[in-house]
Structure 1
């Protein structure tokens, strides 16, 4: 009898494990604008800080389906429910669907900088040093710390579709324009576009946009066993130093 019970319990555990691992994970990727967090190569290979972490979390027994959209379209898809058991990245600072259900531990701490042309004589200390500048911002993204200044008209914003456009404007308006963006994204895209950092100046912008953590953002209706698995895997990756190694590939 004991042997029978043991066998049945083992079968139940195996079946439960199979049920969880049979699920597909739907990973949402921002097209073109999210490097180095999410990078898509010409042959449609997915790399980048977040993508490599997601691959490591689901390295075994799970199928990861990739869904790539422009930022605004991705948000619309997720707000309407998205595919079952979806994953992307987010932060409490962003609000909305990218903050509704986050992993237990953060995966990276974001800092922001302002990039100016090397010819600029700007030295940033506080807002009065930049309130007469044109703020170059990426189209589609929200900047909660800047929004009150934008709403009041204290900031003259110029939205661009990508980093190449931002760098071109700095080249054309060296004394009048500043590009506000995540430090890691600026550095990565300068390198990607064969730009020399010596031709620009990078200054810390944490006085206006303080650093904050980002997490894996999860489907609010995600299967509880899968969510538990994700958090367990992230903790293992953090404790083993793997998270740090992944981040260091790109910064």
Structure 2
């Protein structure tokens, strides 16, 4: 009986060890995200990413590719460097126009379309039909972000850029009249205004500042290829998975 027990223990040990080896041998992809990825792109609990569009899409992609993933909180100003030196492998919510080293990175097919919108206070009686109508205003923006459509106007001092860390802070500043308007993605604005208790004091303007394709940025030496990523993405889009994730956050 003792020999039988020993044999069983040995079998269990090797089974457990084999599981660990297989787990460790799985390809691991490191995902970068940060405070600039406002909800519903990234939703944190106790400083850990636990929900949101980034996590949902990456979970589906990793299941398709049979890889493991980890998340590293990355300041916006370090994204280019971290991608280039492989500190992180992938940033999901991006666009070549936003990163200074875009030509050194690999870019995915389009995940979805994002539109930049302006928000003003609801008690603002003015009409805004074109960007020039914002002349003389202080515009709330996100630190480290590029706004190709607005930049020429910032350069010519038509209006002033005021950077903060995220959309929520800009909404507070707009409520307090510290800024005259804010610019951000429609996806983020729609979600945030569903969360705040004073949404009625804000007005989302019909004017679209710009629209852009959301694409994933992959580091030059990532452990997966862009072909693999795009194949998984196409399958998820064809199956309606990406659309379902967007609907989950009531933003499609």
TM-score w.r.t. structure 2 length?
Answer: 0.79
Q: Deviation of residue 92 (structure 1)?
A: 2.7
**C-alpha RMSD over aligned residues:** 2.4
State the match for 2:231 in structure 1. 232
SS of the equivalent of 2:119 reads strand
Q: What's the counterpart of residue 38 of structure 1? A: 42
Distance 1:177 1:115 in 2: 9
Deviating more after overlay: 114-123 vs 161-170: 161-170
Quote how far apart the aligned CAs of 1:32 are.
5.5
What TM-score results when the alignment is normalised by the length of structure 1?
Answer: 0.79
Deviation of 1:98 (Å): 5.3
Q: Distance in 1 between matches of 2:52 and 2:58?
A: 10
Q: 1:92 aligns with which of 79, 91, 96?
A: 96
| 8 Å contact from structure 2 (residues 175, 201) kept in 1 | no
Which residue in the other structure is 1:14 paired with? none
The reply on whether 1:204 has 2:206 as its aligned counterpart is: yes
Q: What is the alpha-carbon distance in structure 2 between the residues aligned to residue 92 and residue 83 of structure 1?
A: 19
Partner-residue secondary structure (3-state), 2:188: helix
What's 1:4 paired with? none
Hey, what does 1:117 align to over in structure 2?
121
| Paired residues for 1:54-133 under 5 Å | 54-59=58-63, 61-79=66-84, 81-83=85-87, 86-89=89-92, 90-97=94-101, 100-103=105-108, 105-133=109-137
Structure 2 partner of 1:185: 188
Structure 2: 5+ residue stretches without partners: 1-21
Distance 1:161 1:211 in 2: 21
Aligned positions, number = 224
Paired residue secondary structure (1:59): helix
Deviation at 1:140, TM superposition (A): 2.1
After superposition, the C-alpha distances for 1:164-185 in whole angstroms (9 at most, x for unaligned) are 33122222329x7011111111
Aligned to 1:134: 138
- The farther-off stretch of 136-145 and 35-44 is 35-44
TM-superposed CA distance for 1:42, in Å, is 2.7
1:215-226 to 2 correspondence within 5 Å? 215-223=215-223, 226=225
Separation in structure 2 between the aligned mates of residue 102 and residue 74 of structure 1, nearest angstrom: 14
- Asked whether the equivalents of residues 93 and 212 of structure 1 are also in contact (C-alpha less than 8 Å), the reply is no
Pick the structure with more strand per residue: 2
Unpaired segments ≥5 residues, structure 1: 1-17
Structure 1 pair 83–173 and aligned structure 2 pair: CA distance change class (3 A): closer
Residue number in structure 2 paired with 1:13: none
Distance 1:235 1:136, change over 3 A: same
Deviation at 1:43, TM superposition (A): 6.6
Question: How far is the alpha carbon of 1:67 from its aligned partner?
Answer: 1.0
Describe the shift of the 1:56–1:97 C-alpha distance in structure 2 as closer, same or farther (beyond 3 A): farther
